[in-house]
Chains A and B, each alone.
Chain A
Amino acid sequence: MPKAPAGTLYRGREGMWSWVAHRITGVLVFFFLFAHVLDTALVRVSPSSYNEVIEVYKSPIVNLLEVGLVAAVLFHALNGIRIILIDFWESGPKYQKQMLYIELVLFVVLLVPAAYRMLQHTAETLFGNAT
């Protein structure tokens, strides 16, 4: 690959990092989907084998990883909408940077309550119910 001249508008700025994150989250979610279809397929084997594998999702460490997965999907989904707006909305390219910052605010605002709910049970079993 040729070396980019110093100080391009694209390299190392919002546009590049959002593309990197979109790609990484997309690939990650794709690999998870593979595992997830296999584990769900156990409902065709027997109720107990399905319940056993779902227990894994309920364990504290996997529960935490699951929050990471939800974060990856949420970023990819919001940024995908931004990509679609850049492509089809006439002012999309002009506001791509602003849209990224709106996206990041939405990401935090939506992820925090979801993560709180997802981790509630795990926190209670690990640290005991404070009430």
Chain B
Amino acid sequence: MATTAAPADRGAPELAAPRSPRRRTKPGTAKARSNFELHAWVFMRISGLLLFFLVLGHLVIMNVLDGGVQRVNFGFVAGRWASPFWRTWDLVMLLLAELHGTNGLRTVINDYAERAQTRFWLKMLLYTSAFLVVTLGTLVIFTFDPDL
């Protein structure tokens, strides 16, 4: 990709001597190397495994069993959320799905948005929407009022 090549008008990029030890940090900075990408990779697999049961279970319960979506209404939600089990299920599913999806979209943005500015703003938009979805969803599950 074009991002690593030095622009022609600035001359050739500086290359380290062959076999010199790999530098993880920029010369002159003391910042420790981060394992963020590794952790994100592991998180995608752990959350994916959990979501397999949470999301497919959710789809079967809401859309397939016992009349499917035709029986869903406010009363149905009130009945389900009377139980801490289903509130916990929905909360864990919401948080994992939103984080898993956000990290997935971060990868997609990094792959296709080539300009640094575009990447930056798309990610800001992504993180803002993720924050809104997590906050709103969590609030709704915790403050649900069946007698509304």
Task: Point out residues on A near B: beta carbons under 8 Å.
Answer: 1, 23, 26-27, 29-30, 33-34, 37-38, 40-41, 43-44, 46-48, 50-51, 54, 57-58, 63, 66, 70, 73-74, 77, 80-81, 83-84, 87-88, 114, 117-118, 121
Contact = CB atoms under 8 A, between A and B. Distances in A.
Contacts of B97: 33
Given A38-B136, A57-B69, A114 B1 contact: no
Task: Classify the secondary structure of A's interface with B.
Answer: helix
Contacts, number: 102
Interface residues of B, number: 39
A66 B63 CA distance: 9
18 contacts: A29-B101, A30-B102, A38-B136, A41-B136, A43-B74, A44-B144, A48-B74, A54-B72, A54-B73, A73-B59, A74-B56, A80-B48, A80-B51, A80-B52, A81-B52, A84-B48, A114-B63, A117-B68
B146 to A, nearest CB: 9
- List 6 tightest A-B contacts by C-beta distance, closest first: A47-B74, A30-B101, A80-B48, A37-B137, A117-B64, A51-B73
Interface of B: 1, 45, 48-49, 51-52, 55-56, 59-60, 63-64, 67-70, 72-75, 77, 94, 97-98, 101-102, 104-105, 108, 129, 133, 136-137, 139-140, 143-145, 148
